[in-house]
Amino acid sequence: MREIEQTLLWKLINASLLQWIGLLVAVVVLVGVIIRIRTLFREDADAAADNHQLLTSISDLHREGDLSEDEYRSIKGRLINKLGDDPGEP
């Protein structure tokens, strides 16, 4: 009788162990997928192009007379400070 109980206990432990291993693998895969999706949404490869476009736009507005010299310098200074503080920039 004791031998049957030990056999049943080993079967239960092995079944539980396989379930826990399967659950662990599933969690690791899920975390990997989540990290990959977050990385795709956080990539900001066009930041330099957007900033260049913004500088060009304010320069055009200044040249056309829509921005005063003080406004132009203020906006340009803020943008340059923002670009200098950006950790994503090299």
In terms of domains, do 50 and 90 share one? yes
pLDDT digits (tens, 9 = 90+) for 21-63: 888 999 999 999 999 888 877 765 566 667 778 888 888 888 9
Secondary structure letter of residue 55 according to DSSP: H
- pTM for the full predicted model: 0.41
Secondary structure letter of residue 89 according to DSSP: -
Range of the domain at 27: 1-43
Sign of the four-CA dihedral 25, 31, 33, 35: negative
How many domains would you assign to the chain? Answer: 2
Q: Is the pLDDT of residue 2 over 70?
A: yes
In terms of domains, do 76 and 50 share one? yes
Share of the chain above pLDDT 90, in %: 13
In terms of domains, do 50 and 36 share one? no
Q: How do the residues of the chain divide into helix, strand and coil, expressed in percent and rounded to 5?
A: 85, 0, 15
In terms of domains, do 25 and 39 share one? yes
In terms of domains, do 35 and 68 share one? no
